[in-house]
Structure formats: C-alpha cells, structure tokens
Amino acid sequence: MILQNKNESSYKFYSILDDDKPIGLTMIWSFEEFYYGEYLAIDKNLRGKNYGSEVLTKIFDMHNDKLIVIEVEPYDLNDIAKRRIDWYKRFGLILSDYDYDMPCIKDGKKDTMKMKIMTNREIKSKDEYNNIITTLYNKVYSPRLDNIDNWKD
C-alpha cells in the first residue's frame, strides 16, 4: 500500500496507493533520536474506509526502532482538532503536556501557531522534549524559514 520514494535523505515522501491508484500521502523525517511524521493525508472522498488506520499501522511497523513524533493542533482549538487527537490516541499515541510555537507563514508574514506533540511513548523528561522541539526548529523549519531563532522563547 505504501510506495517509498527513492530519495536517500532524512526526509521521505510516501505515496499511498490502492490498486496502483494514489489515494493519499505521508511525509516522514528520520532523525538520530526520533521519527517525525510531518504529514498524513487521505483523499477526502475515501475517508472513513480505514485507509488512514491501515497506513498509520504500517508506519508504526516500518518505524518501530525509535520514538515517533507528530504535531497536532491543541485539543481545545476546534472539534476537528479534538477528533484528530482522539483518533491518534486510539493508536496509542500520547498527547504531551507541553505547548510549543510552530513557525508558520500567515498572510505572507512569519508567524507562529500553538501546537502539541504526540508520541508513541511517554516523553522521558523536559530535556527530551526540548531536544525534539530544537530538532524540529533546526532541521525542519529553519531551512524553510529565515531567522527562526528569533521566534523561540
């Protein structure tokens, strides 16, 4: 069901196929201490048919040698965020207690958005959490956005 691209970098793009027809995509980063699932999307016309569940299970099977990290919007943001978090919880992902400011572009300008981290096991310490956030800032967001250090608390 998942077709991996041939790029050998720390960033992998996967096309999700059903009978050779593309139905979604996911993007996963591999860092020294964790995997970061940047994106998972299934064609909106095919939602509710367990494709997302099947893909997430496959991702966990393929990346079971270290921590898996995803970002989610805070639980209280809206009903969609709440349902998304609850869906990930059904797969054993754990919602972190910590918020962080995800760098983004809004109306053509640099901005931040409050986000939460979910992981496939408890985060061991504030230091581990800080390492995750620092890695995301430096490896994922910094190459995309200039002066990201100015956004950190």
Write down the domain spans for the chain: 2-151
pLDDT of residue 145 exceeding 70, the answer is: no
Q: Tell me the average pLDDT across 45-61.
A: 92
Element (H, E) at 116: strand 109-119
CATH annotation of 2-151: 3.40.630.30
Q: Token digits for 34?
A: 């964790």
Which single residue is written with the structure tokens 């990346």?
63
Q: How far apart are CA 20 and CA 86, in angstroms?
A: 30
- Tell me the three state secondary structure of residue 45: helix
Calculate the CA 151 to chain-centre distance.
20
Which single residue is written with the structure tokens 């943001």?
77
Q: How far apart are CA 33 and CA 67, in angstroms?
A: 7
Runs of H (alpha helix) within the chain: 51-62, 79-89, 126-135
pLDDT interval class at 148 (50, 70, 90)? very low
CA distances for 69 relative to 29, 36, 96, 116, 128, angstroms = 10, 5, 10, 10, 12
Q: Token digits for 148?
A: 């990201």
Specify the higher pLDDT residue, 65 or 143: 65
pLDDT interval class at 151 (50, 70, 90)? very low
CB 28 within 8 A of CB 62: no
